[in-house]
């Protein structure tokens, strides 16, 4: 009984006064909507570039555009929207401004579109213009994130991951700017160094550390479990920082063969500790059945481990055809995209339910805002598409990549339908039974 009370208190502490720290629903939802649209466009771009996917190693074209529609359009777009909303709630701070998040969206969304189109049609000037808009938007976001982290009260684990993600974002921005301007003859650093830094700090550093850090909020909250052990979580963060530092040194040519291997091992230790904490949170939670969304999350965790194994194979120069491409697929599609889509179908109804519909009716519940049927279609299509992409890489077959893209388009469209239905239901008052069953405040 005492354990149950402590879990309720922990959840209550996070949610206490949350409504006073919420952005208008239109702000986070426009980021999520743009991410969901980018998800569909990424599969369409991949269909256009499927001929180059099995042995993709960079270069302008629709495969590169698809990759950045996922990384910038889906992953970073969602991370921006989620962190702008969740961190003020988690760190118990008021929302300082509505204008700056809107400015980020208006700069970032067209910028991502220009980057993707410039990559797809091979237009370096359009790519450079889009990259500039994206960098400016992310700098503004970084200032907002830094201000939030600097004024944080409590949650040191989340704050530590946030600062690491912020530092990684700075590296990712600098290298992205350099790589984009390589195509117009103005690189800031050597392309090989810039690419190695960009992959490590954009995927594992910025997106990865945000995903791990926000997991310490979201997983216990949805599972109704106590907060994970703080010391172990901070140790996991420290090991991840060590891994990033070693990878950076290797990128600049400091004992590259040795340090890349040690970096992967340090990252593996950080991930093992993090996943152990997540498993304890899920196993000890009062809500044991978290449905299809957390099946995606568990699959994503497995893909994270496989991505590190693939990274080790790349570091050791294993004689396996297509291993760098397979590494990218496991990292971006297998871990980050799958994790985000699993969390997104939980967090969007949760945040939407915290905003009242028009009139005097009480807020909707997350379950009443969720249509599970399109999510079921998306679940199987997403896993099938990723499996087919892996087969396309292993067997070097472009037609399998085309089939994967078609299946992915169906899944992404289904996920988009889930979001549209949620927006429509937000405008409707709850049914009488829902009002009757709602908890009394």
pLDDT tens for the chain, residues 1 to 441: 444 444 443 444 444 455 556 777 788 899 999 999 999 999 999 999 988 888 887 778 999 999 999 999 999 999 999 888 877 777 667 666 788 899 999 999 999 999 999 999 988 889 889 988 999 999 999 998 898 888 877 789 999 999 999 999 999 988 887 776 666 566 667 777 888 899 999 999 999 999 999 999 899 988 888 889 999 999 999 999 999 999 999 999 899 999 999 999 999 999 999 999 999 999 998 887 888 999 999 999 999 999 999 999 999 988 888 899 999 999 999 999 999 999 999 989 988 887 666 555 666 788 888 899 999 999 999 999 999 999 999 998 999 999 999 999 999 999 999 999 999 988 776 665 554 444 433
Mark residue 226 as left, alpha or beta (left: phi above 0; alpha: psi -120 to 50; beta: remaining): beta
CB neighbourhood size of 429 (10 A): 15
Q: Give the end-to-end CA distance of the chain in Å, rounded to a whole number.
A: 22
pLDDT at 84: 85
CB neighbourhood size of 380 (10 A): 14
Q: Are 299 and 338 in contact (CB under 8 A)?
A: yes
pLDDT at 157: 92
Q: Are 43 and 409 in contact (CB under 8 A)?
A: yes
Angle at 188 between CA 187 and CA 193, to 5 degrees: 90
pLDDT at 20: 54
Closest CA to 430 of 377, 368, 385: 368
d(CA 53, CA 45): 11
pLDDT at 99: 87
pLDDT at 287: 83
Q: Are 76 and 134 in contact (CB under 8 A)?
A: no
pTM of the model: 0.90
Residue 421 CA from chain centroid, whole number: 22
């Amino acid at each position: 009984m005492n354990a149950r009370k402590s879990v309720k208190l922990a959840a209550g502490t996070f949610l206490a006064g949350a409504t006073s720290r919420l952005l208008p629903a239109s702000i986070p939802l426009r980021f999520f909507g743009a991410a969901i649209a980018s998800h569909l466009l990424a599969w369409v771009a991949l269909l256009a570039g499927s001929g180059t996917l099995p042995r993709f190693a960079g270069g302008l074209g629709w495969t590169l555009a698809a990759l950045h529609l996922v990384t910038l359009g889906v992953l970073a777009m969602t991370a921006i929207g989620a962190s702008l909303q969740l961190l003020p709630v988690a760190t118990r701070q008021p929302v300082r401004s509505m204008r700056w998040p809107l400015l980020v969206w208006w700069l970032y969304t067209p910028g991502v579109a220009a980057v993707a189109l410039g990559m797809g049609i091979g237009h370096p000037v359009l790519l450079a213009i889009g990259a500039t808009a994206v960098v400016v938007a992310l700098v503004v976001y970084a200032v907002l994130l830094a201000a939030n982290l600097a004024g944080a009260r409590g949650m040191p684990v989340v704050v530590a991951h946030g600062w690491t993600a912020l530092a990684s974002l700075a590296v990712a921005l600098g290298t992205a700017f350099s790589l984009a301007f390589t195509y117009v003859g103005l690189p800031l650093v050597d392309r090989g160094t810039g690419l190695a830094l960009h992959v490590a700090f954009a995927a594992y550093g910025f997106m990865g550390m945000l995903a791990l850090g926000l997991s310490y909020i979201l997983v216990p909250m949805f599972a109704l479990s106590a907060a994970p052990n703080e010391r172990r979580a901070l140790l996991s963060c420290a090991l991840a920082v060590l891994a990033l530092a070693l990878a950076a040194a290797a990128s600049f040519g400091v004992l590259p063969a040795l340090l890349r291997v040690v970096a992967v091992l340090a990252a593996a230790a950080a991930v093992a500790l993090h996943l152990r904490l997540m498993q304890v949170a899920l196993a000890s939670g009062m809500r044991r059945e978290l449905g299809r969304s957390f099946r995606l999350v568990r699959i994503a965790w497995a893909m994270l481990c496989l991505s590190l194994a693939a990274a080790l194979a790349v570091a050791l120069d294993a004689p396996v055809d297509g291993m760098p491409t397979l590494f990218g697929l496991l990292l971006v599609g297998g871990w980050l995209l799958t994790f985000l889509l699993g969390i997104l179908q939980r967090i969007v109804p949760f945040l939407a339910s915290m905003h009242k519909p028009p009139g005097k009716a009480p807020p909707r519940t997350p379950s009443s805002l969720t249509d599970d049927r399109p999510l079921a279609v998306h679940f199987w299509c997403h896993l099938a598409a990723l499996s087919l992409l892996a087969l396309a890489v292993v067997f070097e077959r472009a037609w399998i990549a085309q089939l994967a893209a078609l299946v992915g388009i169906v899944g992404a469209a289904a996920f988009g339908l889930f979001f549209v239905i949620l927006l429509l239901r937000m405008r409707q008052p709850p049914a009488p039974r829902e009002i009757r069953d709602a908890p009394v405040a």
